[in-house]
Structure 1
Amino acid sequence: MEQEIRFYKGLAKQYPNVASAATEIINLQAILNLPKGTEHFITDVHGEYLQFRHILRNASGAIRRKIDDVFGPTLRMEEKKELAALIYYPREKLEQVEAKEKDIEEWYQVTIHRMILLCRSAASKYTRSKVRKAMPTDFAYVIEELMSGRPDEADQEAYYNEIIHSVITTGRAREMIVACADLIRRMVVDHLHVVGDIYDRGPSPHLILDSLMNHHSVDIQWGNHDILWMGAAAGSRPCICNVIRIAARYGNLATLEEGYGINLLPLAKLAMEYYGDDPCLCFREQSAYQNLDQAKHLTLDTSLEEKMHKAITLMQFKIEGQMILSHPDFGMEDRLLLDKIDLSQGSVTIDGISYPMKDKHFPTLDPEHPYLLTEQEQEVIDQIQQSFMHCEKLQQHIQFLYSHGSLYKVYNGNLLYHGCIPLTKDGKFLPVRLFGKTYTGRALYDVLDSYARKGYYATDDRERIRGQAILWYLWENPDSPVFGKEKMATFERYFVADKALHVEPKNPYYQMLNDEKMADAVLKEFGLSGADAHIINGHIPVEAKAGESPVKCNGKLLIIDGGLSKAYQPKTGIAGYTLIYNSYGLVLAAHEPFTSVAKAVEQGSDIHSDRILVQQVLKRKRVADTDIGRELKENVADLQGLLEAYRTGLIPERHER
């Protein structure tokens, strides 16, 4: 009783009397009966900013469906496409329309009316307070008046039309339409989930992070490539080397230099000193942008990039070797390959077999001490490490990843993670030993998440060093849930022609993707069950053109990596899957490769015609059926207790005079 009184006295500070508490109960009960907000899932973005931006702007078809719902057969298909393009890219579309429209004022009148109808429909899931907060400041009053007006009633028609007319005559129609488009996009999707891999391969991860930092509601499940950059920002040298190597491999060194201001000049000087006459044939760029307009982001001389690529790769193998030797508990001795090179023969011994090497020029490699950096290499990594750790923009982006991200998330009955749950061959959760303790399933995820945070934030040196080791471990250890392969065959792919050595066998999890019992066990491990529970997964591209389906385990497991990254599109045949979860169910959308904003505006290109209905609910879901709904119900119960305390005299009411 004493604890209850203390609790209610604290609550009474916010709700000092029966009237205020009852009003809040009424408000919360009303919110609980609103339709569930729409969630948008996207994964494996890999630096493809333009495609990412386009998917966000069309909300994976949700905006087009909203247009269909509001206007039905009253608009022609071409008019709907024009209206959709206007909402996606309002400024660009307005320029096009204004250049060719003969009666622009009449077009403004009709368009503003249509935009208001869409605003009203999109806002119907929210309280007026939330809608008001989402409105652009300059037009909040005007839009709210128009949304609440009834032009179909005689006493409202003149008032409604005069507002629109005044907007046009004061020269504000253009900005009004942009404001409405922004509001529609904001209200159609309530929350965004990014299921990993924002970084690497594509040229603009920094622009994606800028966009996410301005998003109204987002969470992120870290992918292996995100973890790599998190480690690099923390100062982890093996992570830094991998980040630079991958940037060089995909022609994105400019992302580091121009996007983040990382100084790579020391590496360039080292590369020219050691590899000036080396053709570096094994280090040719693998970018999907070659011979395309997007190649404009390449600013360094290609030959120099290849030399830098080779220089950082050798440094990476040395530094990773040091990490493996200092952490025998990681069980990665099979990745120690520099000491297996026979320079005199130009060969390397792997698993007891000698293979000829494609590249035999290693001027920085000391056969007696193969994992020791040269003095120049040591100076270079020291300088680059400082550049990573003191890059303000990179640190801001990584701090955002930490504050809005995690290795997994349970949200509204769905389990989100990027990679896999490490399993044994018989389908049991794989026991993984870390720093003297053994973990499986969810406990493994939790301890790895904890160490990943310590690697960046810990003030204790021992914990920070362990955390940074785990950040690299997550990148390429066979037991890492975001890697999920027996090995990372980076060395073999560069230096050995035998493609059998390039294979990276996957964790048994990936052989069980159609085993419903496996999905049930994983969901149960994370506290989920029932027909409405799903695993939403990225990391492994779905080969749509080969007939593979993203829907696994009788709909319980959804792999939504379909090749948003251009590097994967030749394999998948599409440009990625995304997922929409609204009050009616779950819908997968398959996307076409994005070409340009100009084409999207001109042709009204949206999503691929293929949509997969994953689950349709019999009863429309409400806020009461969500995680937020459960919290609101608890708040209602607390407020009802406070009401009872007021009415029984346990807590005195306070009234302002």
Structure 2
Amino acid sequence: MTDPTAPYQTIPEITTELINLTAIMHLPKPTEAFMSDIHGEYNAFQHVLRNGSGNVLAKIRECFHGEMTETTLKEVAFLVYYPKERLQARHKQLHGDELNQWYLTTVQRLVRLLAYTATKYTRSKVRKAMAPAFVYITEELLYNSADDADKLDYYWAIINNLIALGQVDDWIIATATTIQHLTVDHIHIVGDIYDRGPAPDQVMEALIKRQHVDIQWGNHDILWLGGAAGSPLCIANLVRICARYNNLGILEDRYGINLRHLARLAEHYYQDNPAFRPKGADAISADERLEITKIHQAIAIIQFKLEGPVIKRRPEFEMQHRLMLDKLSNDRSSIFCHGHRYPIENGCFQTVDASDPYALLPEEAQVIEQLVKAFTHSEKLHRHMDFLVANGGMYLRYNHNLLIHGCVPVDANGEFIGLTINGTTYAGRQLFEMLEANLRLAYVNPKEQADLATDLLWYLWTGPHSPLFGKHDMTTFERYFIAAPETHEEHPNAYYHLRHEEGFVRKLLTAFALDPDLGHVINGHTPVKKGKSPIMANKKMLVIDGGFSRPYQKTTGIGGYTLLDNSYGMQLVTHQPFVSKQEALAHLTDIISTKRVVETEAKRRTVAETDIGVQLNAQIKTLKARLADLQGMV
């Protein structure tokens, strides 16, 4: 690891940096925002990202307190959120002197707002957040005042020339983006960027553009990491989910995954089937719906076939009860499972050989071979997955908090349970670390498709002791083919009722080497049902999956939670469902409904009390030792 103090070797250099670092330690703690379970809902996500979970509007209210009407405050806020779109609207409404006057007023307002937003940061950090093309101009406006008589002409000359030279729109866009980035300094994504929603790739692009981002992998993210790593089972699962939610365009149009071979196979063997018609497909034609229905069946059967060899070669996964195809009757009309015989509904087992039910047909094997090649060679997918791997992990300890997507598997008594691999049992924190090490191994070795590391990728998606799944069974097969509701139950891990107890959450924090008095567990994965509180265990457990994903909003009654943690404490923000960007812009409609204070600090927290402060303190000690050595030589 590079030593950040290495450039400082002379007494003046070391002294200057010591003064700088020591001063930074006394700045207010930067704002962190936590989001989870975005599930491809880019429009809602980018709105929350742009408005800083309501923080941008709060800054505007503070900065211009008593100076603006509510309508004007919202207009300034939406200019910061959507500068390009709001500029286009102004160009249609205003012309000549009116437009020039609006520019003069707007530039001055944005400079004031940027100055207010930047107060808790060093000049160096603010400069890095600015668009390089406008750094000089913005700093001159930022650090000089329109009230300074000696520089009044200088100040307004800059603004007037921005307008006269046709650069003011670009400056407004750049400055609005800087304000967004400074309002929320660090973004934590607590899992599940992918699946269900239409644009996970755009979510990834937005995150790549931010400077300070970390991601705790969710079970749906694992499928896409597994796809890029060449796991046939992960690929089959994610293609099936895309077909189920009418999102095959993500694969074909966004990531360049050719589905022609799969479509040809589906057309040959399958017909219409109500259990496999895509969800959310009202706007597509009957022919398109039928094609997706056939593809959905074809990839589902391939998935069930691929599960067989993995379950059989990995008895340590304890998933033998998930072998289903060999339990079908010879005529495919019934199945014996869960201790009973059930009739099959909506069956589509025409490619399943009763004598060898898990064998792929040659055409099916060719489809999987082609899909593996397409996934492992998709440049855009690998760019996104590289970012996910480089900035992600199974868990994160950050500023006293434990961030996990799913659960820490435990038994009914709250004792850690997990996997036994080659005679070693991994549970608690060690389970997370073993699984992460194997995921990273599988990702850098995509040609290995039947090794333990690749099999564990699939286990993370669906295994009974997977921290990212958190249930005993994934009853996909039963939900397609068996009507009896008791077969659909998936039995959540005991973690999900124990997490309401403060003693259990303190045990978790201790197990992950965190202070239970200072820390919290921040959790995603399970939508908080309408009427239930996301704040549990005497405020030690915070569950922030509130329904970014549209299919969950009937259950949650809201459009998602985000969590803010700043120098004053923690706030849980509730969002209303996001209708559309066009609707928001037309009516200046934000989606913040309520903010609930989780914790308030007795005194404002500083950088010194954060993980960054720990790093800076180590650098200070190194520099002081180096300074003492140099002074001793004088």
Name the counterpart of 1:491. Answer: 477
CA distance change for structure 1 residues 542 and 642 in 2, over 3 Å: closer, same or farther? Answer: same
Read off the aligned partner of 1:54 and give its amino acid letter: H
Maintained 8 Å contact 2:230/2:446: no
Read off the aligned partner of 1:40 and give its amino acid letter: A
Maintained 8 Å contact 1:343/1:360: no
1:576 is the counterpart of 2:560: yes
Name the counterpart of 1:353. Answer: 340
Deviation at 1:614, TM superposition (A): 0.9
CA distance change for structure 1 residues 572 and 460 in 2, over 3 Å: closer, same or farther? Answer: closer
Q: How does 1:165-204 map to 2 (within 5 A)?
A: 165-204=160-199
Deviation at 1:265, TM superposition (A): 0.7
For 1:461 and 1:247, how far apart are their aligned partners in 2? 25
Instruction: Name the TM-score, length of structure 2 as normaliser.
Output: 0.96
For 2:240 and 2:531, how far apart are their aligned partners in 1? 33
Q: How does 1:326-365 map to 2 (within 5 A)?
A: 326-344=313-331, 346-365=333-352
1:558 is paired with a residue whose SS is: strand
For 1:230 and 1:176, how far apart are their aligned partners in 2? 38
1:84 is the counterpart of 2:81: no
Structure 1 residue corresponding to 2:68, chosen from 75, 78, 98 = 75
1:254 is paired with a residue whose SS is: helix
Structure 2 residue corresponding to 1:234, chosen from 219, 229, 236 = 229
For 1:386 and 1:27, how far apart are their aligned partners in 2? 51
Read off the aligned partner of 1:559 and give its amino acid letter: V
1:476 is the counterpart of 2:471: no
For 1:514 and 1:390, how far apart are their aligned partners in 2? 44
Name the counterpart of 2:371. Answer: 384
1:519 is the counterpart of 2:529: no
Maintained 8 Å contact 2:577/2:591: no
1:220 is paired with a residue whose SS is: strand
Name the counterpart of 2:255. Answer: 260
For 1:228 and 1:148, how far apart are their aligned partners in 2? 49
Name the counterpart of 2:616. Answer: 632
1:72 is paired with a residue whose SS is: coil
- 1:301-357: CA deviations, max 9, x gaps? 110110110011011001011110111111001101111111426001112200011
Read off the aligned partner of 1:484 and give its amino acid letter: G
Q: How does 1:246-645 map to 2 (within 5 A)?
A: 246-275=241-270, 278-287=271-280, 290-291=281-282, 295=283, 301-344=288-331, 346-458=333-445, 465-543=451-529, 546-645=530-629
2:592 is paired with a residue whose SS is: coil
Deviation at 1:549, TM superposition (A): 1.1
1:554 is paired with a residue whose SS is: coil
Name the counterpart of 1:7. Answer: none
Name the counterpart of 1:3. Answer: none
2:64 is paired with a residue whose SS is: helix
Maintained 8 Å contact 1:589/1:607: no
Read off the aligned partner of 2:66 and give its amino acid letter: P
Unaligned runs of 5+ in 1: 1-9, 653-657
Maintained 8 Å contact 2:578/2:591: no
1:420 is paired with a residue whose SS is: coil
Read off the aligned partner of 1:87 and give its amino acid letter: V
Moved more, 622-631 or 338-347: 338-347
Deviation at 1:123, TM superposition (A): 1.4
CA distance change for structure 1 residues 75 and 247 in 2, over 3 Å: closer, same or farther? Answer: same
Deviation at 1:232, TM superposition (A): 1.2
- 1:213-255: CA deviations, max 9, x gaps? 2221111100000011111111111111101100000001111
Q: Which consecutive segments of 4 or more residues in structure 1 shift more than 6 A?
A: 10-13
Deviation at 1:459, TM superposition (A): 8.6
1:46 is paired with a residue whose SS is: coil
Maintained 8 Å contact 1:54/1:88: yes
Maintained 8 Å contact 1:407/1:445: yes
- RMSD between aligned residues: 1.8
Name the counterpart of 2:630. Answer: 646
For 1:11 and 1:376, how far apart are their aligned partners in 2? 56
- 1:99-151: CA deviations, max 9, x gaps? 22361111111111110011111111211112112211222111101110122
- 1:457-484: CA deviations, max 9, x gaps? 149959x821101100100001000000
Moved more, 626-635 or 100-109: 100-109
Structure 1 residue corresponding to 2:132, chosen from 124, 130, 137 = 137
Structure 1 residue corresponding to 2:18, chosen from 25, 47, 62 = 25
For 2:286 and 2:201, how far apart are their aligned partners in 1? 17
Name the counterpart of 2:142. Answer: 147
For 2:93 and 2:417, how far apart are their aligned partners in 1? 64
- 1:510-536: CA deviations, max 9, x gaps? 011210011000001111124431111
Read off the aligned partner of 2:384 and give its amino acid letter: H
Read off the aligned partner of 2:544 and give its amino acid letter: I
Name the counterpart of 1:93. Answer: 86
Maintained 8 Å contact 2:5/2:622: no
Maintained 8 Å contact 2:528/2:556: yes
For 2:137 and 2:611, how far apart are their aligned partners in 1? 34
2:39 is paired with a residue whose SS is: coil
1:193 is paired with a residue whose SS is: strand
- 1:635-656: CA deviations, max 9, x gaps? 111111112112222xx6xxxx
For 1:558 and 1:176, how far apart are their aligned partners in 2? 39
- 1:165-222: CA deviations, max 9, x gaps? 2222333222221121111112111111111101100111111112222221111100
Maintained 8 Å contact 1:254/1:299: no
1:107 is the counterpart of 2:93: no
Identity between Structure 1 and Structure 2 (%): 43
Maintained 8 Å contact 1:487/1:504: yes
1:547 is paired with a residue whose SS is: coil
Name the counterpart of 1:50. Answer: 43
For 2:439 and 2:166, how far apart are their aligned partners in 1? 53
Deviation at 1:487, TM superposition (A): 0.1
1:614 is paired with a residue whose SS is: strand
- 1:25-72: CA deviations, max 9, x gaps? 001111111111111111101111111111111110010111011111
Moved more, 465-474 or 389-398: 389-398
Deviation at 1:299, TM superposition (A): 11
Maintained 8 Å contact 2:4/2:619: no
CA distance change for structure 1 residues 303 and 392 in 2, over 3 Å: closer, same or farther? Answer: same
Maintained 8 Å contact 2:376/2:446: no
Read off the aligned partner of 1:253 and give its amino acid letter: L
Read off the aligned partner of 2:414 and give its amino acid letter: G
Read off the aligned partner of 1:28 and give its amino acid letter: L
